[in-house]
Chain A
Amino acid sequence: MWERVKTFASEFFVTGDPLIYGADVSIVITILGIVIGLTYFNKWGWLWREWLTTVDHKKIGIMYILAAFIMLFRGGVDALLMRAQLAAPEMNLLPPDHYNQIFTTHGVIMILFMAMPFMFGLFNVMVPLQIGARDVAYPFLNALSFWLFFSGAMLFNLSFVIGGSPDAGWLAYPPYSGIMHNPGVGQDFYIWGIQISGIGSLMTGINFIVTILKMRAPGMKLMKMPMFPWSVLSSCIAIIFSFPILTATLALLFLDRYAGAHFFTLDGGGNPMMYINLIWMWGHPEVYIIVLPAFGIFSEIVSTFAKKKLFGYKSMVYAMMIISILSFLVWAHHFFTMGSGADVNAFFALTTMLIAIPTGVKVFNWLFTMFRGKITFETPMLWTMGFIPCFIVGGLTGVLLSVAPADFQFHNSYFLVAHFHQVIIGGVVFGYFAGLYYWWPKLFGFKLNERIGKWAFWFWNIGFYLCFMPQYALGLMGMTRRVVTYGWDKGWWEMNLVSTIGAGLMGIAFLFQVWQIVYSVKHLRKDETGDPWNGRTLEWSIPSPAPVYNFATLPHVTSQDEWWEEKQRRLQGHPAPAPVKIEPIHMPKNSGIPIVMSMFWFFTGFGFIFDWLWLAIPGLVGVAACMLVHSFNYDTDYYIPVEEIKRTESAIRGVTS
């Protein structure tokens, strides 16, 4: 019996690597710490009522951002391990198979479990406030989306200590990701982790489209909406049309692995290239999905800190909508070398180059907004300033890559690696950081420390260029991506060393950011204005942090920068609008179903990964039961009475006025 347990455990848990044993110990200690802490301070009920069952978009947003930060740490550690392995020739820090796992998990985590939840977090915390709504269109679905993402992310991260990580790259190309070449459970963790969180992403996409189209404050015509909701809308349009492709494609890969189907296998008439074709139909829109909201954030920040109306509002809107649709017409540029023929390559090279046009329009709009503005350089604006040159260089190398004949040289080299890190770090990560710094006071009611923030910014920026500029050159010198090591005779080691130092600086920058948050909480200086940056849009018209119902009375919008115009009117001596009579507010009730249902999804995924039907089937039954329970429940909302609203308002406004 004991022997059987031992054999099972040695296969079930990942063994043999001191790094992983260290991680095992730290995971157990962290979980124990959390459990003991919650029990000691008697906080379980609080956690359940206030956070785990919440349907409040602001709290869900904060949970998304917190999860994204943890994932940024995990993905960042992966990156540092890879850079350490490549710092010098013939290093033996990571064995090749472990290296494969690390570059795979780094890519998946950074895109799907860091960028996506960070983005959804910002959607959640800001879109309803900016459009003057009290919640999103489907609060229950919103909570479900979050918990599905969370289950998927946990499932994926579990592969690190149980069963073994996937190792076929972030997009898991077959035939290597097929059962014949990859019989372990790693790829199944990949499929189910992404599948479960992908359903959540899809639902968030639907949710925010409806929220933006149907729930804007009275008077807010689409063309009077702030730019961030516009960017969210364009991003969500790409989500709803691209994520189903991912769902279908991963399902087919699963059928290949689980049911012996022959979609992408080398035998039985399957065609691995079909997978590559399909996955990029999702994969390409995906990168626009994450970068479009960053464009929206920059637009808000530029006009706030230049104290000017955004230049070229309409062209910005059209540019984003065009990018969102055009992103579906370029996918084949990821596999020019597959050999689809000259006409296919020519078409996709042209469409790819076309995307540079609307993107260029946006850059000029930001520059013209700043032109003759009274710019101040607080941290959100700093990140914006860091973004523009970085994204231009990244975008231009993208145009170089789109030239199909030249791509035969660049393909899968470090040139490509440098390019996409430059657009994703320079565009997406800088954008989300800018957004987080900008909206932090609205979320928590205090600003983050500017001085430490500037240190973090400069470490990130200098580290970034040190890390990735040499990689362009390395790519041109012939270094291919995903190599585990290289020889002394290649002449690559100096630049690799510089690159590793740059990565280290970015790691230090992350520590600065953590310190910045801790320091700012410790030396908390409450922002009592609700409008610390002299903002322009509706979210700054209410107290920070916003009360549960956001707006005690709904604002009536007459112009694009409504809050700015309102402040101007008041400065000119117009009286503040007479208070509108407060009425009971209709709000959704909290629900435990989202988290329970997501746990059942987790069990389903885990069961299929290990081919344990005794777990997978009850999991599916649980999912179905949760859906039915929800469908039969008609008691889903309540009214906040006027008395309570008045009490809340006077409590928070009492401080402000």
Chain B
Amino acid sequence: MQHDMSPSHADKNHGSLKSYTIGFVFSILLTIIPITVVMSGWLAGKASAIILMVTAVLQLVVQLIFFMHLREEKKPRYNLLTLILGLIILLVIVIGSMWIMMYNMVAL
């Protein structure tokens, strides 16, 4: 069987110069914010940590939408599904390890 890539099919899912540029500007902004927060020492402790994590997660979302075009996936959305599953397992690994190891009375 041949690989007939019809143009209409092949030309979807790759964004435009505008979307890439918007994504790039967002990602720069989302990098400058946490740097400023840390370098200037405005916020400390928990507040700063929350800002840092929120901007990092937003950055992830920006890359997924503007650069990896996750939103434009056709149904069934297996890419999105594997991503969600992967992120759940990732959180289980990181948070589970922290919970088991850092509140571990013997280790302390």
A and B touch in the complex (CB under 8 A): yes
Chain B residues, Cβ within 8 Å of A274: 97, 101
Shortest B106–chain A CB gap in Å is 4
Chain A residues, Cβ within 8 Å of B99: 344
Q: Which chain A residue has the least Cβ–Cβ distance from B103?
A: A341
Q: Which chain B residue has the least Cβ–Cβ distance from A134?
A: B1
Chain A residues, Cβ within 8 Å of B5: none
Interface centre among A245, A271, A341, by most chain B C-beta atoms within 10 angstroms, is A341
When the two chains form the complex, which single residue of B85, B86, B100, B105 contacts A332, counting CB atoms closer than 8 Å? B100
Interface 1/0 per residue, A321-355 and B, CB below 8 Å: 00001001101100000111100100000000000
Chain A residues, Cβ within 8 Å of B104: 273, 338-341
Chain A residues, Cβ within 8 Å of B107: 271, 273
Contact assessment for B92 and A328 in the assembled complex, using a CB-CB cutoff below 8 Å = yes
Contact assessment for B78 and A329 in the assembled complex, using a CB-CB cutoff below 8 Å = no
When the two chains form the complex, which single residue of B1, B89, B101 contacts A277, counting CB atoms closer than 8 Å? B101
Interface 1/0 per residue, B79-108 and A, CB below 8 Å: 000000110110011001101110111110
Q: Which A275-297 residues have C-beta < 8 A from chain B?
A: 277-278, 281
Q: Which chain B residue has the least Cβ–Cβ distance from A242?
A: B89
Shortest B101–chain A CB gap in Å is 6
Chain B residues, Cβ within 8 Å of A325: 85, 88
Contact assessment for B86 and A344 in the assembled complex, using a CB-CB cutoff below 8 Å = no
Shortest B88–chain A CB gap in Å is 8
A192 to B55, CA, bound (A): 39
A273 to B105, CA, bound (A): 12
Q: Which chain A residue has the least Cβ–Cβ distance from B106?
A: A339
Chain A residues, Cβ within 8 Å of B85: 237, 241, 325
Contact assessment for A277 and B100 in the assembled complex, using a CB-CB cutoff below 8 Å = yes
Interface centre among B1, B88, B89, B106, by most chain A C-beta atoms within 10 angstroms, is B89
Chain B residues, Cβ within 8 Å of A332: 96, 100
- Whether a CB of chain B sits under 8 angstroms from the CB of A213 is yes
When the two chains form the complex, which single residue of B78, B96, B101 contacts A273, counting CB atoms closer than 8 Å? B101
Known: A213-B78, A328-B89. A281 touches B105 (CB 8 A): no
- Whether a CB of chain B sits under 8 angstroms from the CB of A49 is no
Number of A-B contacts (CB under 8 A): 48
A344 to B93, CA, bound (A): 14
- Whether a CB of chain B sits under 8 angstroms from the CB of A570 is no
Interface size class of B (residues with CB under 8 A): 10 to 19
The B interface, classified by DSSP as helix, strand, loop or mixed, is helix
Known: A328-B89, A329-B92, A586-B1. A338 touches B106 (CB 8 A): yes
Chain B residues, Cβ within 8 Å of A341: 103-105
Contact assessment for A271 and B101 in the assembled complex, using a CB-CB cutoff below 8 Å = yes
Interface centre among A339, A340, A341, A586, by most chain B C-beta atoms within 10 angstroms, is A340
Chain B residues, Cβ within 8 Å of A271: 101, 107
Interface centre among B85, B99, B100, B105, by most chain A C-beta atoms within 10 angstroms, is B100
Known: A339-B104, A341-B104, A586-B1. A277 touches B86 (CB 8 A): no
Chain A residues, Cβ within 8 Å of B89: 241, 328
Shortest B93–chain A CB gap in Å is 6
Chain A residues, Cβ within 8 Å of B1: 583, 586
Q: Which chain B residue has the least Cβ–Cβ distance from A329?
A: B92
Q: Which B48-104 residues have C-beta < 8 A from chain A?
A: 78, 85-86, 88-89, 92-93, 96-97, 99-101, 103-104
Shortest A210–chain B CB gap in Å is 9
Shortest A135–chain B CB gap in Å is 13
Chain B residues, Cβ within 8 Å of A328: 89, 92
A62 to B89, CA, bound (A): 33
A583 to B1, CA, bound (A): 9
Chain B residues, Cβ within 8 Å of A338: 104, 106
Shortest B77–chain A CB gap in Å is 11
Shortest B35–chain A CB gap in Å is 29
Known: A237-B85, A586-B1. A281 touches B106 (CB 8 A): no
Known: A271-B107, A328-B92. A278 touches B100 (CB 8 A): no
A277 to B86, CA, bound (A): 19
Q: Which chain A residue has the least Cβ–Cβ distance from B78?
A: A213
Contact assessment for B100 and A241 in the assembled complex, using a CB-CB cutoff below 8 Å = no
Contact assessment for A344 and B103 in the assembled complex, using a CB-CB cutoff below 8 Å = yes
Shortest A276–chain B CB gap in Å is 10
Chain A residues, Cβ within 8 Å of B86: 241
Chain A residues, Cβ within 8 Å of B101: 271, 273-274, 277, 340
Shortest B100–chain A CB gap in Å is 5
A329 to B92, CA, bound (A): 8
A263 to B103, CA, bound (A): 18
Shortest A466–chain B CB gap in Å is 39
Chain A residues, Cβ within 8 Å of B92: 328-329
Q: Which chain A residue has the least Cβ–Cβ distance from B100?
A: A340
A245 to B94, CA, bound (A): 11
Shortest B31–chain A CB gap in Å is 27
A271 to B100, CA, bound (A): 13
A331 to B97, CA, bound (A): 11
Contact assessment for A277 and B97 in the assembled complex, using a CB-CB cutoff below 8 Å = yes
Contact assessment for A339 and B105 in the assembled complex, using a CB-CB cutoff below 8 Å = yes
A332 to B96, CA, bound (A): 9
Shortest A556–chain B CB gap in Å is 16
A397 to B69, CA, bound (A): 49
Contact assessment for A281 and B103 in the assembled complex, using a CB-CB cutoff below 8 Å = no
Chain B residues, Cβ within 8 Å of A586: 1
Chain A residues, Cβ within 8 Å of B88: 325
Chain A residues, Cβ within 8 Å of B100: 277, 332, 340, 344
A325 to B97, CA, bound (A): 17
Chain B residues, Cβ within 8 Å of A344: 99-100, 103
When the two chains form the complex, which single residue of B78, B93, B103 contacts A245, counting CB atoms closer than 8 Å? B93
A328 to B91, CA, bound (A): 11
Chain B residues, Cβ within 8 Å of A583: 1
Shortest B83–chain A CB gap in Å is 12
A116 to B101, CA, bound (A): 30
Shortest B32–chain A CB gap in Å is 32
Chain B residues, Cβ within 8 Å of A329: 92
Interface 1/0 per residue, A311-329 and B, CB below 8 Å: 0000000000000010011
**Chain B residues packing against A (C-beta within 8 Å):** 1, 78, 85-86, 88-89, 92-93, 96-97, 99-101, 103-107
Q: Identify 8 new A-B residue pairs, CB closer than 8 A, beyond the known A237-B85, A271-B107, A344-B103.
A: A271-B101, A274-B101, A281-B93, A329-B92, A339-B106, A340-B104, A341-B104, A341-B105
Please list 14 pairs of residues, one from A and one from B, whose beta carbons are closer than 8 Å in the complex, sorted by A's number.
A241-B86, A241-B89, A273-B101, A273-B106, A274-B101, A277-B100, A281-B93, A281-B97, A329-B92, A332-B96, A338-B104, A339-B104, A344-B99, A344-B100
**Chain A residues packing against B (C-beta within 8 Å):** 213, 237, 241, 245, 271, 273-274, 277-278, 281, 325, 328-329, 331-332, 338-341, 344, 583, 586
Closest 3 CB pairs between A and B?
A339-B106, A241-B89, A586-B1
